[in-house]
Structure 1
Protein backbone atom coordinates (compact mmCIF):
# COMPACT_ATOMS: atom_id res chain seq x y z
CA UNK A 1 0.00 0.00 0.00
CA UNK A 2 1.40 3.35 -1.14
CA UNK A 3 4.95 2.31 -2.08
CA UNK A 4 5.79 5.95 -2.79
CA UNK A 5 5.24 6.68 0.91
CA UNK A 6 7.00 3.59 2.30
CA UNK A 7 9.61 5.60 4.23
CA UNK A 8 7.00 8.00 5.60
CA UNK A 9 4.77 5.11 6.69
CA UNK A 10 7.70 3.49 8.48
CA UNK A 11 8.51 6.77 10.19
CA UNK A 12 4.91 7.43 11.27
CA UNK A 13 4.53 3.91 12.63
CA UNK A 14 7.87 4.10 14.44
CA UNK A 15 7.31 7.52 15.97
CA UNK A 16 3.78 6.75 17.06
CA UNK A 17 2.98 10.46 17.24
CA UNK A 18 0.04 10.43 14.83
CA UNK A 19 -2.62 8.45 16.68
CA UNK A 20 -5.17 8.86 13.87
CA UNK A 21 -2.75 7.37 11.33
CA UNK A 22 -1.91 4.44 13.60
CA UNK A 23 -5.59 3.74 14.27
CA UNK A 24 -6.48 3.83 10.57
CA UNK A 25 -3.47 1.71 9.61
CA UNK A 26 -4.49 -1.00 12.07
CA UNK A 27 -8.12 -0.76 10.99
CA UNK A 28 -7.14 -1.16 7.34
CA UNK A 29 -5.09 -4.26 8.17
CA UNK A 30 -7.95 -5.71 10.21
CA UNK A 31 -10.45 -5.13 7.41
CA UNK A 32 -8.03 -6.68 4.93
CA UNK A 33 -7.77 -9.83 7.06
CA UNK A 34 -11.55 -10.00 7.45
CA UNK A 35 -12.13 -9.74 3.70
CA UNK A 36 -9.49 -12.35 2.92
CA UNK A 37 -10.89 -14.73 5.52
CA UNK A 38 -14.39 -14.42 4.13
CA UNK A 39 -13.23 -14.83 0.54
CA UNK A 40 -10.63 -17.58 1.06
CA UNK A 41 -12.24 -19.78 3.66
CA UNK A 42 -15.89 -19.39 2.81
CA UNK A 43 -16.49 -18.26 6.38
CA UNK A 44 -20.15 -17.77 5.71
CA UNK A 45 -19.91 -14.17 4.61
CA UNK A 46 -22.40 -13.07 2.06
CA UNK A 47 -21.42 -11.10 -1.00
CA UNK A 48 -23.07 -8.01 0.53
CA UNK A 49 -21.02 -8.36 3.74
CA UNK A 50 -17.79 -8.69 1.79
CA UNK A 51 -18.64 -5.67 -0.37
CA UNK A 52 -19.46 -3.61 2.73
CA UNK A 53 -16.09 -4.49 4.26
CA UNK A 54 -14.33 -3.63 1.01
CA UNK A 55 -16.03 -0.24 0.85
CA UNK A 56 -15.01 0.49 4.44
CA UNK A 57 -11.45 -0.61 3.67
CA UNK A 58 -11.34 1.76 0.69
CA UNK A 59 -12.69 4.63 2.80
CA UNK A 60 -9.98 3.99 5.40
CA UNK A 61 -7.33 3.80 2.66
CA UNK A 62 -8.48 7.17 1.32
CA UNK A 63 -8.10 8.68 4.79
CA UNK A 64 -4.64 7.17 5.15
CA UNK A 65 -3.65 8.64 1.79
CA UNK A 66 -4.86 12.08 2.85
CA UNK A 67 -2.79 11.89 6.03
CA UNK A 68 0.28 10.74 4.10
CA UNK A 69 -0.06 13.59 1.62
CA UNK A 70 -0.46 16.08 4.46
CA UNK A 71 2.55 14.70 6.37
CA UNK A 72 4.63 14.64 3.20
CA UNK A 73 3.79 18.26 2.42
CA UNK A 74 4.58 19.31 5.99
CA UNK A 75 7.96 17.58 5.79
CA UNK A 76 8.65 19.23 2.44
CA UNK A 77 9.12 15.97 0.55
Structure 2
Protein backbone atom coordinates (compact mmCIF):
# COMPACT_ATOMS: atom_id res chain seq x y z
CA UNK A 1 0.00 0.00 0.00
CA UNK A 2 1.32 3.42 -0.95
CA UNK A 3 1.69 6.21 1.53
CA UNK A 4 -1.19 8.69 1.63
CA UNK A 5 -0.73 11.89 -0.34
CA UNK A 6 -2.01 15.22 0.87
CA UNK A 7 -2.27 18.49 -0.99
CA UNK A 8 -3.79 21.90 -0.50
CA UNK A 9 -6.41 22.30 -3.21
CA UNK A 10 -6.82 25.66 -4.84
CA UNK A 11 -10.28 27.12 -5.30
CA UNK A 12 -10.29 25.70 -8.85
CA UNK A 13 -9.21 22.29 -7.54
CA UNK A 14 -12.07 22.31 -5.04
CA UNK A 15 -14.55 23.24 -7.79
CA UNK A 16 -13.23 20.47 -10.04
CA UNK A 17 -13.42 17.94 -7.23
CA UNK A 18 -16.96 19.05 -6.42
CA UNK A 19 -17.94 18.51 -10.06
CA UNK A 20 -16.37 15.04 -10.05
CA UNK A 21 -18.09 14.03 -6.81
CA UNK A 22 -21.51 15.59 -7.43
CA UNK A 23 -22.92 12.19 -8.42
CA UNK A 24 -21.83 10.60 -5.15
CA UNK A 25 -18.41 9.46 -6.32
CA UNK A 26 -15.97 9.54 -3.43
CA UNK A 27 -13.15 12.05 -3.56
CA UNK A 28 -10.64 9.18 -3.47
CA UNK A 29 -12.22 7.47 -6.46
CA UNK A 30 -12.55 10.75 -8.37
CA UNK A 31 -8.89 11.58 -7.81
CA UNK A 32 -7.75 8.08 -8.77
CA UNK A 33 -9.83 8.20 -11.93
CA UNK A 34 -8.51 11.66 -12.80
CA UNK A 35 -4.95 10.38 -12.37
CA UNK A 36 -5.68 7.42 -14.66
CA UNK A 37 -7.13 9.72 -17.31
CA UNK A 38 -4.22 12.15 -17.04
CA UNK A 39 -1.67 9.32 -17.29
CA UNK A 40 -3.43 7.85 -20.34
CA UNK A 41 -3.52 11.26 -22.02
CA UNK A 42 0.19 11.73 -21.24
CA UNK A 43 1.07 8.34 -22.76
CA UNK A 44 -0.98 9.16 -25.87
CA UNK A 45 0.71 12.56 -26.20
CA UNK A 46 4.12 10.91 -25.83
CA UNK A 47 3.24 8.36 -28.52
CA UNK A 48 2.03 11.12 -30.85
CA UNK A 49 5.26 13.05 -30.30
CA UNK A 50 7.30 9.92 -31.02
CA UNK A 51 5.33 9.29 -34.21
CA UNK A 52 5.75 12.89 -35.34
CA UNK A 53 9.48 12.65 -34.68
CA UNK A 54 9.75 9.42 -36.67
CA UNK A 55 7.75 10.89 -39.56
CA UNK A 56 10.26 13.75 -39.70
CA UNK A 57 13.25 11.38 -39.76
CA UNK A 58 14.37 10.62 -43.33
CA UNK A 59 16.18 7.42 -42.29
CA UNK A 60 13.03 6.04 -40.70
CA UNK A 61 10.91 6.91 -43.72
CA UNK A 62 13.44 5.21 -46.01
CA UNK A 63 13.25 2.07 -43.87
CA UNK A 64 9.44 2.12 -44.01
CA UNK A 65 9.57 2.40 -47.81
CA UNK A 66 12.04 -0.50 -48.01
CA UNK A 67 9.85 -2.72 -45.85
CA UNK A 68 6.76 -1.83 -47.89
CA UNK A 69 8.59 -2.73 -51.09
CA UNK A 70 9.60 -6.09 -49.63
CA UNK A 71 6.04 -6.76 -48.55
CA UNK A 72 4.74 -5.81 -51.99
CA UNK A 73 7.16 -8.33 -53.51
CA UNK A 74 5.93 -11.04 -51.16
CA UNK A 75 2.31 -10.28 -52.02
CA UNK A 76 3.08 -10.86 -55.69
CA UNK A 77 3.71 -14.52 -54.88
**Which protein is bigger by CA-based radius of gyration?**
2
Shorter-chain TM band: 0.3 to 0.5
Instruction: Tell me the TM-score normalized by structure 2.
Output: 0.45
Instruction: Tell me the TM-score normalized by structure 1.
Output: 0.45
Which fold has the larger relative contact order, with Cα–Cα distance below 8 Å and residues 6 or more apart in sequence?
Answer: 1
